[in-house]
Amino acid sequence: MHWISIPFFDDFFHTHSMTKSLKARQIVIEAGRQGAEYLEIIESGKQSSVEIVVERGAKATIFDCSTSAAHSVKVTLAAESTLTYVSLSNASARKLTSTVGQGAKIHWHCTTIGGSGDSHELISTCIGPKAESTVDWIFSATGKQKQSVSVRNIFDAPEGKGEITLKGIAEEKAFVTCNGMIEITEQGRGTNTYLTEDVLMLDATAHVEAIPALEIRTNDVKASHSATVSRVTAENLFYLQSRGINETKARQMFVEGFLGALTERIADREIRAKVAEAIIRQQR
């Protein structure tokens, strides 16, 4: 185990051969660092884990495209720090956690493609006043693939904020379980949060369980949730086919249109393109 310390004046390289790809176990983003580029993490093998510390006032973007069969990430954000964490997983189990300090912000962009029953779990806890935790999670399962996605935002300090948005596709005989949870403790007064689960079934043979939940143990909060499961019908596909679009292309259009709202939230253009390409490959 070793630490890689990223100085506040040291930009990350991110284009082509200049990409800084690190098999790091522990990474520190030093106080005050305001890098505009992103750090790419690539782990492989049966099992891997990464611990990331974002020191006070630092700001960074991390793109994690590890291929380990089981991959865990632990993030700690000090006061007033900001982290954008993009996680792209192809059929591997992931366990993600974050602890968010006073005035700090984390934005998780997670994408899960395929799977064979693996568990994908994220727990983010706001422990400081005015901390912010936002989670956008895209998932796509086809064939006989199985996925279990679980996200929990915990607000354990006053005036926290953040949303969970889970948005996914299930095709053919895929089976997806989608669990979103917002927990506000006795210390979480003044919290403002929302949970959305939105799933599109492209085939009647797909199976989806969308389970949103709230647990609120204080007053003076704004918290709500919604869950929607929609279906693409044979008539929908026929309509496009009647206009010269074959079924494969029509299905791809539904997927790209449905998931595009979340991919567009990824600010870095290069990372956004890589995530979009991974989604498209699933349709081929």
User: What tens digit of pLDDT does each residue of 142-162 get?
Assistant: 999 999 999 999 999 999 999
> Which tens digit of pLDDT belongs to each residue from 9-64?
333 333 322 334 444 588 999 998 887 778 888 888 888 899 999 999 999 999 99
Are 94 and 74 in contact by the 8 Å Cβ rule? The answer is no
Cβ partners under 8 Å of residue 39, min gap 6 = 6, 12, 20, 22, 27, 60, 61, 62, 63
Are 225 and 214 in contact by the 8 Å Cβ rule? The answer is yes
Helix (H) or strand (E) holding 137: strand 132-141
Is 94 in a helix, a strand, or coil? strand
Distance separating alpha carbons of residues 47 and 45, to the nearest angstrom: 6
**Percent of the chain beyond pLDDT 90?**
65
Phi, psi of 173 (to 5 degrees): -110, 25
**pTM, two decimal places:** 0.89
Helix (H) or strand (E) holding 239: helix 234-241
